[in-house]
Amino acid sequence: MSDLDRIYHELSERDDAARRAHFSSTLIQLWDGNMEYPLQVRSVIDHEGEDPTWSVGGGVTHFAYDSPEGHYCYDLIRPDEDLHLTVELVDPDDPSIGWESRVAFKAVNVDLVDQEDGTQIVEVQWTTALAHWEHLILMAVPMLPPQLQPIHYWVALGNIRTQFLLALHMALAVTYSPLWRFVDNPFSIASYRDAVDPRRWPLMVSPLTALRDATKPVLAAFRFDMALPAMIDQLRDADCWPVARQWLPGDPQPFPSHVTLVRPTLILDIEHEELVPGITGTFVDGYIHLLVGLADDLITEVVHPILDPSLLPKNPSQHPLGDKLGLAPAKPWPLYRRGEYSGIVEGRISLRKSLGTVFWTGGRSPEWVNQAITLAISTALDYVGFTMGIPGLGNLYQGQLDNTVLAFAKTEDRRRARGAGRFAFRHVWCSEASVGFGMATAIALRKGWFDSKPRMVRTVEVIDGFPYRIYRDVKKGSACCFEMPDGSIYVDRITNIKHRLDRETEMRYALVVGDDTGDEDPIAELWGRWNQMRDVARKLFLEH
């Protein structure tokens, strides 16, 4: 055997050993409502779950009722007490991997099921801890009671992570601090200490680093809105995603320079991974990325880049300006290749067909049109009444012709119709505009045209460990490249992490890269940003 063959076999054996250790390092635990008394799951019929990037995930687990896990879920935990589950990786050489990889679930339904063969099983349905974001209300003035809200909106301009985490912190302060609520035991000093000390709250936000926040700026505006629905679209637009990570005693302190945690705590945070490295390393980078993104929306319709393998940049900064300025290289994107030993288990290229060729919108005339019609008709009636000696004739007109001129608009894409064929779908109603003439009309027609056009959507599912390992080499939200059947390289983010376990198979993870929910018309997206700021200003100063 040559030296090259020996080295190859040694590296292969080392890689196989690392992969086996990775697959067998999963720890699953059941927890009570306070996350204090765990039970390690050792006997499970099957379990599967998912942790999407921009939405709340969930899962389902089946236990035998006569197992410790079945009795724990159905008998030991009171009916009115919460039941939790954590799934994590364990590595003695890297204690932080458990905290970073931990996915926390909360039970929403526990069923005792009698099966046909006479056995009993316990079925538990879960939702991920990110659901806590859906159960936090963002007030307009969180410092005041809900009965007194003199300001219409909580409005702040700044980097999205800073602004949103600050709003979440205010919501948690209203929830747990004795600001507008009585402590559980008003005669106990410990109750007041638990209420005023954020370290002892069940939920807390990650400490802010505003000067180094490189996320895009946003105009945050809230008025008794649920946190996740109010934030998710802007987070996705800024390439950020919400997380809710469970910290447990024994884990490394996540923020040793800011705070020392002493009790089980669910930490709310916003993560961001730059596709292009920043220039200054400060909050200014967010404004630079916003300006570049606005300019890109005006000149291109590319949502996700498609690269030629022969043109992959040698410098992993992936930014010409960064190369010229000599910036430190960014972390290179993981690349999944097609082939016999590839981790790609399912690649999907969806050819979405045309959904329409004629586009309609509107509903009412612009206000100035209605006013002009009213002025013209009323003036004409007054003149007729003056000549006939009938005063007040102009009052007969009470807007009978309002919303009849320039109230609706229509456009047609005949080139698309010819390409689709004689039996193409025709009419599409674009509901984004309420008037038939104006900038909003043009944007609504454009958005309807874009959303219904034929397009190609690419998604891929890859198995963990071939070659990249989840939570070690890649994680939720990471940008990845994967090779398409035509040889091109497609760039998108990890949008979902799925895992499955049963009696015969160890825990296996699968990564979903890409979806079509972010394929929004860049022009409509640009106009949406402007509309958001305009609506906030109108509601803030004019709404009563």
Q: Tell me, what CATH number does 111's domain have?
A: 2.40.10
One domain for residues 117 and 177: no
Question: Residues of the chain with pLDDT > 90: what percent?
Answer: 24
pLDDT, position 126: 96
pLDDT, position 297: 45
Average pLDDT over residues 61-90: 93
Q: Is residue 317 domain-resident?
A: no
The model's confidence at residue 448, banded by pLDDT at 50, 70 and 90, is confident
Which among 100, 87, 84 is positioned nearest to 37, based on CA atoms?
84
Q: Which of 60-74, 200-214, 418-432, 504-518 has the lowest mean pLDDT?
A: 504-518
152 burial via Cβ count (<10 Å: 0-12, 13-18, 19+): middle
pLDDT, position 276: 61
| More confident: 394 or 496 | 496
Q: Is residue 183 domain-resident?
A: yes
For 492, which DSSP code? E
pLDDT, position 326: 52
One domain for residues 208 and 224: yes
Asked whether residue 296 carries a pLDDT value surpassing 50, the answer given is no
Asked whether residue 110 carries a pLDDT value surpassing 60, the answer given is yes
Distance CA 373, CA 470 (A): 65
Amino acid at 376: A
The answer to whether 441 and 361 are in contact (CB under 8 A) is: yes
Domain's final residue, options 452, 473, 508: 452
The model's confidence at residue 474, banded by pLDDT at 50, 70 and 90, is confident
Q: Treating both helix axes as pointing N-terminal to C-terminal, what angle do 439-451 and 522-542 enclose, rounded to 10 degrees?
A: 140
List 415's β-bridge partners, or say none: none
Q: Is residue 543 domain-resident?
A: no
One domain for residues 116 and 246: no
Give the rounded distance of the alpha carbon of 276 from its chain centre.
20
Q: Is residue 324 domain-resident?
A: no
- As a whole number, the mean pLDDT across the chain is 80
| More confident: 81 or 443 | 81
Q: How many domains does the chain have?
A: 4
Asked whether residue 318 carries a pLDDT value surpassing 50, the answer given is no
Q: Is residue 402 domain-resident?
A: yes
The model's confidence at residue 299, banded by pLDDT at 50, 70 and 90, is very low
Per-residue pLDDT reduced to its tens digit, 357-374: 999 988 888 888 989 999
Average pLDDT over residues 54-83: 94
One domain for residues 388 and 491: no
Give the rounded distance of the alpha carbon of 268 from its chain centre.
14
One domain for residues 468 and 445: no
One domain for residues 138 and 268: yes
81 burial via Cβ count (<10 Å: 0-12, 13-18, 19+): exposed
Per-residue pLDDT reduced to its tens digit, 10-24: 777 777 777 777 666
| More confident: 336 or 69 | 69
Domain's final residue, options 406, 434, 452: 452
Q: Which of 139-153, 311-325, 382-396 has the lowest mean pLDDT?
A: 311-325
Q: Is residue 415 domain-resident?
A: yes
One domain for residues 254 and 166: yes
Per-residue pLDDT reduced to its tens digit, 495-510: 889 999 888 888 888 8
Distance CA 449, CA 436 (A): 16
The model's confidence at residue 517, banded by pLDDT at 50, 70 and 90, is low
One domain for residues 29 and 102: yes
pLDDT, position 389: 77
pLDDT, position 60: 96
The answer to whether 96 and 255 are in contact (CB under 8 A) is: no
Q: Is residue 1 domain-resident?
A: no
pLDDT, position 535: 57
Q: Is residue 537 domain-resident?
A: no
Asked whether residue 291 carries a pLDDT value surpassing 70, the answer given is no
pLDDT, position 304: 45
The model's confidence at residue 148, banded by pLDDT at 50, 70 and 90, is confident
pLDDT, position 275: 63
Q: Which of 124-138, 304-318, 425-439 has the lowest mean pLDDT?
A: 304-318
DSSP-derived 3-state class of residue 405: coil
Domain limits for position 467: 458-529
One domain for residues 477 and 423: no
One domain for residues 166 and 195: yes
One domain for residues 261 and 148: yes
| More confident: 415 or 328 | 415
One domain for residues 156 and 93: no
Per-residue pLDDT reduced to its tens digit, 221-264: 888 889 999 898 888 878 899 999 999 998 999 888 888 888 89
pLDDT, position 52: 92
Domain's final residue, options 272, 296, 315: 272
pLDDT, position 518: 45
| More confident: 280 or 459 | 459
Q: Which of 203-207, 293-297, 501-505 has the lowest mean pLDDT?
A: 293-297
